Amino acid sequence: MLNTSENKRLIFIKQLFKILITVLAFAFTIETCARFDDVLRFDAPFWGTYTDKSLRTIDESGINRNVPNSSFEKWKNNSLGFRGEEVLLEKPTGLVRVVCMGTSETYGLYESANMEWPAQLQSLLPNSARYQVINASVVGMPLNKYRAYIEKYVVKIKPDIIILFINPYAYVMGSEKANKHSEDRYKRQHIEEKKKYFSFRAFEKLKLKFKAEVKQELPADLLKKYRVWQYSKIVNETEMRRLKNKLPMETVSQSHVDAFGYELNELIKYLKQQNIQVVLSSYPVLLQPGTLEAYNDIFIESRVGLVEYSFNGLIDISEKINLKIKDAAQKSGVGYVDIDSMVPKNLQYFADHVHYTDDGAHKVALAIKNYIVETNPAK
Amino acid sequence: MTFTSIFFIVFLLGVYLIFRVSPQKYRWGVLLIASYVFYSTLNVPYLILAIIFITAATFVGGIQISKSITPQAKLAWLWFGITVNVGILVSLKYIPFILDNVSYFTDVEYAFGRQIVSIGVSFYTFQAISYLTDIYLEIQEPEKHLGRFSLYLSFFPKLLQGPIERASALLPQLRSDYHFDADDLKTGINLFLWGLFKKVVIADRLALAVDAVYQNVHDHSGISLVLATYCYALQIYFDFSGYTDMALGIARVFNIRLTQNFNNPYLSTSIADFWRRWHISFSTWILDYIFKPLQFEFRKWVRWGTPLALIITFLVSGVWHGASWCFIVWGGIHGLYLAGSAMLSKPLSRVYKRFRIDKSQTFKIINTVITFHMVCFAWIFFRSKTLADSVYIVSKIMTVFIDITVPKLIGDSEHILQLLGKQKFEIVIILLLTALTLLIESLRHPVEDNSRRIGLSWLAKMPCWMQGTAYGLILYFSLFYGVSTQSFIYFQF
């Protein structure tokens, strides 16, 4: 016979055990649901980790590229490592291949599935069977890596037109830092790999859901103040670490801009040698002297990866590099579309400083489509 | 702040913790402050003024009715209270409708009153009127404690969409001391989760199809309109009963049992049966405070008295639901249904008995199907944006059978299904969940024993690993298959 206190202890242990089993069953169920959901929704693997890291790699020659046949959520790479539908190596007669080269703004980040600007360009082009738009962009790739990438992966599909959408910040940052910055962006936006061997997908989904709910429910002003506080803290810490009491630069050095111009001219020369028509585009950014106050949270966030430059420095980079792109187009006689002047500087079109919403991507696609239709560079 | 928002969950947790640590005698105060804070999150300052004014007038009215010696004085105080309540209700809810109709006849546009909102007013004014009437009829003692009385009208779980609580049911619970009961807490959480699931996973998902069709009725075929109407019938049930479950669950956490509003209404075998199962707190209210006095008033017209009282009662019910001709017509249709059945009930029951079909199961099923379709027909008027839209839908549905073909039926059904989800598997899951929820709902306990009506009571009897699994499924689907942008349908009333 058990005495009363022992009896109570037994009941307590029994209750505790029941609670533990319930919690475990609960956790097991939501994790299983999350994994099944990924399988059904994105054709993701049930076992193992599932992250955006599977999308990109660096090949044996040190060139950044997308992993062939990889996918993560809305992003899908084909067997050649280009985002989107399968592309045949052999080009059918009469088909005009339009290859879009750029970084994350071209690959697509915030847009809905198939709403990144190259995908929209494909559907906007008249007589779309005549054109095949290929999204060959690679997240975080700076200009000095374009040639090697094009030579190795793009030339073999025989492009007729290459649209160069060059991210000035990726160039100024340098490839390693640009890659890291892009990775960070993806991590902030999407499920990140927590542990090498196991990740609790349901937890990550719940975290994102919670963040989205809070974002939706909180007053916009309060949310903005929080973002300003959050990113200011990161920027200040990074400034302390990297700048060591030096002030951030207010302008980009002329040598940097000249080097950019040189790299671009060399790339154009190479593409011309390959009989590829080149279309350059200015690089649209949200950050302008007139929009600084309204979107200060976004601008502080954009400084996270580039603390070496002040707000004025960031503006200076985009202005000078855009001038250089225009200048290169004029001097080399290649096509030029001033998209920067065509995308209105507000949040209907920009999801952050350099990435687009569906509407923003539509504006870019429309501008390029108009250029192609009007000038017919592949004729 | 709606029940489905994350901030409401945080708010509820906060209120519960403060409630638990507060001394017994101040707990009503915690709930009252929470209720006013909850109401103020709607950001409509005049609604707070309205509820304070109604509370004060009804409280004074109730005490004065009880204190008055002569019947004339009692009646005068009753009318004072009713006039204040109805006056505020009309000013907040019906001014735009009245001005719209005046504009129609006078060709003068009135901008005044367009922005007025009246969330919750219809519910607590009805509660206040029943309180005054019950005191006048001497079936209820007036509440002497202003704080508790304020809480009776404004208790936040039922403030925006009811249930319309009778004083005799709620006031004694507000007066009694709170004692922690683990079963009540568990039941409350179960009910809340079940309601959340019904609202965000089923109702709001169905709303995607319903809204797409009913926003532009002229762009859709007769079959699409029929399917959208069926979807609406399910949407409004899951939406409103989901809210009610959540309200009952929240109240239960504080040891308070609110009235159950639904009892499988779509299993009704007649329209009268439907009204015994749909929005029960409202239907019993209109029965007690409108229909019965009218029936008494019309008793001299033996044959027409009851049907006339029913038609008037349900026209008032239509007006209560909203300041629009669509709601009035909807009320009128239900009034006609009930008047018709009241007049035909005797001869029909003789026929049924004659052919011995009154107790047949098949006959019951046929009646259930017919009743469901009669209710759906009325829902067309309830959901349509304008009366012209309703008439168009009805005419289109009437002609649907003329040129119906199997490919057309499949095509239009696919079109409606595609509105429910982006991917095929998502649609399949939603359909399965809807069917499963309907099944679980139909297995719920009957309404007679209110204390046993607990949303997931079946869950409590399962082994703990199954409970954990069920909670996991409900939470996962609510969070990731839910559409949380829709507000509750009955907010507008």
* Chain A interface includes B5 (CB < 8 A): yes
Mean pLDDT of A155-176: 85
* Chain A interface includes B9 (CB < 8 A): no
Q: Report the chain B residue with the minimal C-alpha distance to residue A15.
A: B464
| H or E segment and range at residue B477 | helix B464-480
**Closest Cβ opposite residue B425 in set A22, A25, A40:** A40
Contact B472 A19 (CB under 8 A): no
- pLDDT tens digits, A225-251: 988 999 999 988 888 888 887 888 888
Question: What pLDDT, on a 0 to 100 scale, did the predictor assign at position A339?
Answer: 93
Q: Which residues of B touch A213 (CB under 8 A)?
A: 5-6, 484
User: What domains appear along chain A, each with residue ranges and CATH number?
Assistant: 52-375 (3.40.50.1110)
Contact A25 B465 (CB under 8 A): yes
**Closest Cβ opposite residue A25 in set B7, B469, B477:** B469
Question: What pLDDT, on a 0 to 100 scale, did the predictor assign at position B488?
Answer: 61
Strands A64-66 and A56-58: antiparallel
Where do the structural domains in chain B lie, given as residue ranges? 6-178, 184-492
When mean pLDDT is compared across A86-95, A103-112, B57-66, the lowest value belongs to A86-95
Contact A34 B7 (CB under 8 A): no
Mean pLDDT of A199-217: 84
Rounded to whole angstroms, the Cα distance separating B294 from B178 reads: 41
- Please give, rounded to a whole number of angstroms, the shortest distance from the CA of A16 to a CA of chain B: 11
- Please give, rounded to a whole number of angstroms, the shortest distance from the CA of A365 to a CA of chain B: 24
Q: Which two tokens stand for residue A229?
A: 């506080």
pLDDT at A75 over 50: yes
Q: Which residues of A touch B10 (CB under 8 A)?
A: none
Q: Report the chain B residue with the minimal C-alpha distance to residue A35.
A: B476
Question: What pLDDT, on a 0 to 100 scale, did the predictor assign at position A126?
Answer: 83
- Mean pLDDT, consecutive 10-residue segments, chain B of 493 residues? 84 94 91 93 83 93 91 92 90 77 71 66 92 92 92 92 90 90 85 90 88 86 87 92 92 91 90 92 92 87 86 92 87 93 84 79 89 94 90 86 78 79 81 86 58 57 87 89 66 57
> Residues A101, A146: contact at Cβ < 8 Å?
yes
Question: What pLDDT, on a 0 to 100 scale, did the predictor assign at position A245?
Answer: 79
> Residues A141, A178: contact at Cβ < 8 Å?
yes
> Residues B3, B13: contact at Cβ < 8 Å?
no
* Chain B interface includes A25 (CB < 8 A): yes
- Please give, rounded to a whole number of angstroms, the shortest distance from the CA of B24 to a CA of chain A: 28
Query: Each residue of A61-82: b (16+ CB within 10 Å) or e?
Result: eebbbbeeebbbbbbbbbebbb
Question: What pLDDT, on a 0 to 100 scale, did the predictor assign at position B378?
Answer: 94
The residue among B155, B94, B142 whose CA lies nearest residue B316 is B94
